[in-house]
């Protein structure tokens, strides 16, 4: 491991200079899970929910968050994102909602923070919309699933070491 890229020789936080990096097509995918009581999930998925369409609201929040990641994470670069997708999948057998995000960019730096931010904010939006009926909602397993188009190669979570 080469060390933390956002720490300079003096041990101070700094923004990485990506000016000399190659412009490549980059993509990252992330996921988050939101667990709740069965009745809460049923309420969120019903047309009778007083807060409106929970899944659509979470999807829009995730997309908007990806576009504003550079404003939320101090050392991230602003990116000209070419794609953000936020897929929200209810799992009634698990009393959970799975969030999967994918972000793309043609640029000089990675897009994984945008994918992770989209998943996180979509999960927080689901929490916000359900907290009035369930104080025990739990957000879990926010993680990077995959990234590609970077100098270090194609990375897949939980892949055998030989594929990394």
Task: Give the model's pLDDT for residue 159.
Answer: 63
Task: Give the model's pLDDT for residue 164.
Answer: 38
89-112 per-position pLDDT tens digit? 999 999 999 999 999 999 888 899
Task: Give the model's pLDDT for residue 19.
Answer: 63
Per the residue annotation, which of 87, 128, 134, 141 is the catalytic one? 128
Is the C-alpha dihedral spanning 9, 16, 29, 40 positive or negative? positive
Task: Give the model's pLDDT for residue 160.
Answer: 59
Biggest CA–CA distance in the chain, Å, is 57
Give catalytic status of residue 87 as yes or no. Answer: no
- Domains of the chain: residue spans and CATH: 24-150 (3.30.70.640)
> How many other C-beta atoms are found inside a 10 Å radius of the C-beta of residue 88?
22
Residue spans of the chain under pLDDT 70:
1-4, 6-7, 13-15, 17, 19, 159-164
Task: Give the model's pLDDT for residue 1.
Answer: 39
* Residues in a beta bridge with 24: 107
The pair phi, psi for residue 134, each rounded to 5°, is: -155, 105
Pairing between strand 138-148 and 96-107?
Answer: unpaired
Give, as one character, the DSSP assignment of residue 108: S
């Amino acid at each position: 491991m080469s060390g933390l890229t956002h720490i300079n020789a003096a041990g101070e936080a700094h923004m990485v200079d990506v000016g000399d990096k190659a412009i490549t097509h980059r993509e990252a995918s992330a996921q988050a899970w939101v667990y709740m009581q069965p009745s809460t999930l049923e309420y969120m998925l019903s047309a009778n929910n007083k807060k409106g369409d929970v899944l659509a609201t979470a999807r829009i929040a995730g997309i908007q968050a990806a576009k504003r990641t550079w404003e939320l994470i101090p050392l991230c670069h602003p990116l000209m994102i070419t794609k953000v997708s936020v897929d929200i999948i209810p799992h009634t057998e698990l009393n959970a909602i799975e969030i999967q995000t994918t972000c793309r960019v043609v640029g000089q730096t990675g897009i994984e923070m945008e994918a992770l931010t989209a998943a996180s904010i979509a999960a927080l939006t689901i929490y916000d919309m359900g907290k009035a009926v369930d104080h025990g909602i739990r957000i879990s397993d926010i993680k990077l699933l995959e990234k590609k188009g970077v100098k270090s190669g194609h990375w897949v979570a939980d892949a055998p070491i030989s594929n990394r």
